[in-house]
Structure 1
Amino acid sequence: MIGVHPKVIDLGLGRMERLLAALGNPERKLPPVIHVAGTNGKGSTVAMMRAGIEGAGKTVHAYTSPHLVRFHERIRLAGTLIDEAALVDLLHECKAANGDEPITFFEIITCLALLAFSRQPADYTLLEVGMGGRLDSTNVVDRPALTAIAPVSMDHQQNLGNTIEEIAAEKAGILKRGVPCVVGPQDDRALEVIERQAARVGASLLVHGQHWHAWTEGGRLVVQDETGLADLPLPNLLGAHQIDNAGMAVVGLRHLGFAEDALTAAVTRAEWPARLQRLTAGPLIDAAPRAQLWLDGGHNPAAGQVLANALQAMPKMPTYLVCGMLNTKDPKGFLRPLAPLAQALFAVGIPEETATLPAEATREAADAVGLTAETADSVDAAVAQIVARDPAARILICGSLYLAGHVLTLNR
């Protein structure tokens, strides 16, 4: 599929609009759309909103990326992963409609998902932005029911811009006239851009710190917005950062009219693998029975800080990192906040990933931020080296969702 367009990533809506028109404009026939952008936290927010909608007895389509183990994870039809036969049939239909015209992989699968969503009833549609927002393939719905922008930080600079303001402007491209937007915690520079774009297009904002707040108190999650206070269980997704993600989900659901049962389900039933996930079974655990193994797909400086905060909140114990990253990322920026918290790092390449950062380059980045590091041939080799040194260590495998997907496949 990628071969019919010279670029793997080529942000723009022209090819999407052409193919969607050829398919009968399925984007105009969707259940009410919730469109979510941001740098970190958008996937978790989508997962919680999906859990909340389903907890209220409603059905929801969901489009997310990337997948971890199976491609089908990207497309949920009324709560169920798309099956192989439907996926193949829809792909053939989209390729036939596209003909020999240029199209990227992400564009054609986005059209495929929208076509699938348009043909099966559901109460809502959740669309997670792939990259950016303004020119992202998902940004083809004229009037969603709700938008949301999770925290914006530096990532994908080669496509979105080299400043936080430029990146925020791309994310703010999902704002639509008359459509409310829930805004997560933001750098002041990013928030200024989002507010300016909202004023320009006539979108109303529900801004963290202004219109809503989320915090923990007495072992509970408290979310307060302009409709009142919600006293809820703590999120089952781990990490202090999930408090604000839960807040975004709760505020969005409340704005759509969902009641307490949906809010409780949102924070207690969400599942989102490779986001500070404790591995508890599988070959890696069998090889390291006394160790704690954790997995996280974070891959930018903001995610590194979130992981550092999470490690600091855990009981103190020797901690080692197994890290593999893409060559488009900032390994020093990601590792800098983690460096004081780890005994050592074992750098690996990402198997079967052409854009992997060589293990030696990750090792050099770790060394540059003061973190003792060496390379390993694979994740399982790294884990074996760590437990030979410290059998009861905490091991955090991190640096890329692609590495996380490999680990989940390896550890089944």
Structure 2
Amino acid sequence: MALSDPVLQRLTALHPKVIDLSLDRIHRLLAALGDPHEGLPPVVHVAGTNGKGSTVAFLRAMLEAAGLRVHVYTSPHLVRFHERIRLAGTLITDDHLTALLEECEAANRGAPITFFEVTTAAGFLAFSRTPADVVLLETGLGGRLDATNVIERPAVTAITRVSHDHRQFLGDSLAAIAGEKAGILKPGVPAVFAPQPDAEVARVLAERAAAVGAPVSFWRAEPSPGGFCFESAARRLDLPPPGLAGAHQILNAGLALACLEHLPVRVDDAAAARGVAGASWPARLQRLTRGPLVDRLPPGWELWLDGGHNDSAGEVLAVQAAVWAAQDGRPLDLVFGMLGSKEPAEFLRPLAPHVRRLRAVAIPGEDASLPAEAAAAAARAAGIADAEPAVDTAAALASITQADRGRALICGSLYLAGTVLAEND
């Protein structure tokens, strides 16, 4: 058990709701801590549904390739909580994290506050005490009432692709969800948006930017024979393929490049290219190449891991599945698990035409997990005929890999991905 675990467990009991979107509690706690969020280096504030973490990963890689010190706040974590806070290029140590959480706990004086709010305050406290050149700040959920939205004047705001997720908190329509994400836009602060496949989302973002007086920067990123081309009003770059797998990562890298143009730091073309090519972000179309799960695979098999869990993620994986099929013709099998609050059919439907078999698992340690039997039934309803439950990931892989050769993809949840990475360490 990590030193920080007991205080993290105590903090979860301070508010009866796991998620309760509001800024009042975080403002109160930050005031008690001396408002550390007001003395940060230039902030890039990133909201959206899909691609936030990847965009932040590209930004960090490019800034660090230029020799700059970067603070990063992301969520959720995969294996250990300290993954969420990176101080000037290094993950926060467990004893440092524990001290910060205890300081926030004392300042809060037992008042109601959510887990995410108090841990966000701890991140701001850490960032305010360690010198850095840039802060990369990812929203947790939504934007307008997200605990990270206390930064009154970031250097730039970015919104990735908006799609259906967290409907119980953000609304049923894409327009409503986009409106919540657009709540991070600030008067006079440059905004950059990822291309939005839905015209209504694009309209909402543009109207919100105009209403608050946030100037929008336009850019484009397109595949090229050697990688991809990025173009904006300021520059044109020919870049190598992104270090993260999947054609969709070109747009996430492009969004990151567009953000750089509004920071008071310099990232030259060579550093941008090194960063794009060298970026890494676990559980986002990550190929697993070592560890116990990989060791159990027969010859001729590949193992991949992805934490995507909504309709857009399913579409992205379907595109990649078609690319894989064209490359080598290996059949694709899934190990699938998902939280009960998500929509399995929406995720699986785009993938179904590309999948030979699916084995469904419950996410270990998650009471909110969809049971394996229900996940398998959802897969059959989505069009995957050979879909059956399995007791765990290892059993699912053993069932799948009885065939001669293939490609296994573990998918459906970041929480499942986290348990897989821990199990395969």
Q: Do the two structures share a fold, i.e. TM-score over 0.5?
A: yes
Does 1:219 find its partner at 2:222? no
CA shift for structure 1 position 379 = 0.4
Contact map agreement 1:250 1:266 (CA 8 A) in 2 = no
Q: Which runs of 5+ in 2 are unaligned?
A: 1-10
CA deviation vs aligned residue, 1:166-190 (integer Å, no higher than 9, x gap) = 0000000000011101100112111
Does 1:75 find its partner at 2:85? yes
How far apart, in 2, do the equivalents of 1:289 and 1:42 lie?
A: 35
Letter in 1 for 2:55: T
Letter in 2 for 1:217: S
Contact map agreement 2:298 2:401 (CA 8 A) in 1 = no
Contact map agreement 1:323 1:399 (CA 8 A) in 2 = yes
How far apart, in 2, do the equivalents of 1:141 and 1:185 lie?
A: 25
Does 1:386 find its partner at 2:400? yes
Report what 2:124 is aligned to.
114
Does 1:241 find its partner at 2:252? no
Report what 2:309 is aligned to.
299
Contact map agreement 2:226 2:239 (CA 8 A) in 1 = no
Report what 2:212 is aligned to.
201
CA shift for structure 1 position 220 = 2.2
**1:49-88 matches, cutoff 5 A:** 49-88=59-98
**1:4-403 matches, cutoff 5 A:** 4-186=14-196, 187-206=198-217, 211-256=218-263, 257-290=266-299, 291-314=301-324, 315=327, 316-372=329-385, 373-388=387-402, 390-403=403-416
Letter in 2 for 1:226: A
With normalisation by structure 2, the TM-score equals: 0.94
Q: CA RMSD in A?
A: 0.9
Q: Sequence identity of aligned pairs in percent?
A: 57
CA shift for structure 1 position 261 = 2.7
Contact map agreement 1:249 1:266 (CA 8 A) in 2 = no
CA deviation vs aligned residue, 1:369-408 (integer Å, no higher than 9, x gap) = 11020000000100011112x1421100000000000000
Letter in 2 for 1:114: F
CA shift for structure 1 position 264 = 1.1
Q: Which runs of 5+ in 1 are unaligned?
A: none
With normalisation by structure 1, the TM-score equals: 0.97
How far apart, in 1, do the equivalents of 2:275 and 2:162 lie?
A: 22
Report what 1:3 is aligned to.
13
CA shift for structure 1 position 137 = 0.7
How far apart, in 2, do the equivalents of 1:319 and 1:218 lie?
A: 27
CA deviation vs aligned residue, 1:249-308 (integer Å, no higher than 9, x gap) = 111113335321331133112110000011101111111042110000000011000000
How far apart, in 2, do the equivalents of 1:269 and 1:354 lie?
A: 37
Report what 2:418 is aligned to.
405
CA shift for structure 1 position 343 = 0.7
Contact map agreement 1:246 1:266 (CA 8 A) in 2 = no
How far apart, in 2, do the equivalents of 1:92 and 1:2 lie?
A: 13
How far apart, in 1, do the equivalents of 2:227 and 2:102 lie?
A: 49
Report what 2:3 is aligned to.
none
How far apart, in 1, do the equivalents of 2:378 and 2:195 lie?
A: 29
CA shift for structure 1 position 362 = 0.8
Report what 2:7 is aligned to.
none
How far apart, in 2, do the equivalents of 1:128 and 1:262 lie?
A: 23
Letter in 2 for 1:352: G
How far apart, in 1, do the equivalents of 2:232 and 2:362 lie?
A: 45
Tell me the matched-pair count: 407
Report what 2:6 is aligned to.
none
CA shift for structure 1 position 83 = 0.4
CA shift for structure 1 position 228 = 2.5
Letter in 2 for 1:339: A
SS of the residue 1:221 aligns to: strand
Report what 2:8 is aligned to.
none
How far apart, in 1, do the equivalents of 2:143 and 2:241 lie?
A: 30
